[in-house]
Chain A
Amino acid sequence: MASIPSPIHPDNLKAVQKIAEISGQNVYECMQCGTCSAVCPMVSSMGFTTRQGIHYLQFGEIEAVIDARIGEFCASCHTCVVRCPRGIDVPRVFEAVRQLVLRTNTDLIDLKTIPKDTMAEAPQIAFVSTFRKLTS
């Protein structure tokens, strides 16, 4: 029987594997119901929705998800994971995408852009969490 060509490029399959390694999640379990997008408090700031993001990841299109800045705008609220009917740990998936950028020694925000007033006023946990999530 002839083998069926996969629409997914082998390099992209490697990318899916990488996401799975870092997140421990199998993006192919997603049935695209859209609940994660519906509950996401930051979805309107993202280039496309979290549901679409998972779909892109199913095709291994990591660059598109990075460009949509899903991982950057995510606030780690975890509403998506408690609502996902398949129990996919969506925050871990987008953390993996974020890590793929951060681990190339690239920061997603510049510390120097935080105003001095904010540095004096905001609680320490604000800085610690921001820098942990968005700087390498």
Chain B
Amino acid sequence: MATKTATLTEKVAAKTVPIYIMGKKYEVPGALTIMKAMEYAGYQYIRGCGCRGGVCGACATVYRKVGDYKIYTGLACQTVVEPEMYLTQIPFYPANRAAYDFETAEPTAETVYQLYPELFRCVACNACTKVCPMDVEVLDYVSALKRGDLKAAAEISFDCIQCGLCASRCMGEMAQYHIAQLARRLQGGKLAPKAGHLEKMCTEIDGGAFDDLLAELKTMNEDELKKVYTEREMEPHMGAEEWTPASDVGLA
């Protein structure tokens, strides 16, 4: 088993690709993500490097490939490097976020218009949709907001991770993702039906339904807690404890 792991590592390390980071060329292992490749090259992320899991939007990256005019985007933590990738990293794109009091904000499209009049500067060029690393249909939610449909805008923008790439490309100088977040907050917080079962459970908790159980757990020492944990009710095991890939899975 140890031999096989070493072979895999060697195989991965041997396949490097040339990429450019901040104008300088590096040979990095081809299976790395942009984020790992930059660390491999010696860069350190000391702040705002994100969740590394594709959901926080901190690592949005714009890149080109040498000889190719097109603009590409992706999340650095998710996008695997390609030969001739030309990377620069910007911390974030400046964006206008309106200040408002959510408690008193009316859940209407007019609230959005008042806080973000630049919404109407959209020229429907679709650059935002083309640049989105989460495949959100940005133009569609901007259109929905312009026609007053908060619900549709909230639904269409659901996958947005607030990376700001849309704002960086917007001809109308909007920060689409902030506008959509307002729409989602108004829709989710004030218009969508409440989850009745959640409220019920919260009431039960407040009413002390789990107080005795928690008090009991607090009296236990580490060994007693471990025993309670391992003997808890849970689903049966369906497979073996250990698993390794059947073949080189294409690393040859």
Contact = CB atoms under 8 A, between A and B. Distances in A.
- Is A–B contact present in the complex under a CB 8 A cutoff? yes
Contacts of B117: 111-112, 114, 119, 127
A124 to B, nearest CB: 6
Nearest to A135: B121
A128 interface: yes
| Interface bracket on A | 10 to 19
A131 B114 contact: no
Contacts of B113: 119-120, 127
Contact of A132 (B110, B123, B146, B148): B123
A116 interface: yes
B118 interface: yes
A135 B123 CA distance: 12
Contacts of A111: 117-118
Nearest to A111: B117
B146 A128 contact: yes
B227 interface: no
Interface string A114-127: 10100110001001
A135 B174 CA distance: 13
Nearest to A128: B120
B99 to A, nearest CB: 14
A127 B147 CA distance: 12
Interface string B117-149: 110110100000000000000000000001110
5 contacts: A124-B146, A127-B120, A130-B120, A132-B121, A135-B121
Given A127-B120, A131-B172, 11 more contacts: A112-B117, A114-B117, A119-B117, A120-B113, A124-B120, A124-B148, A131-B120, A131-B121, A132-B121, A132-B123, A135-B121
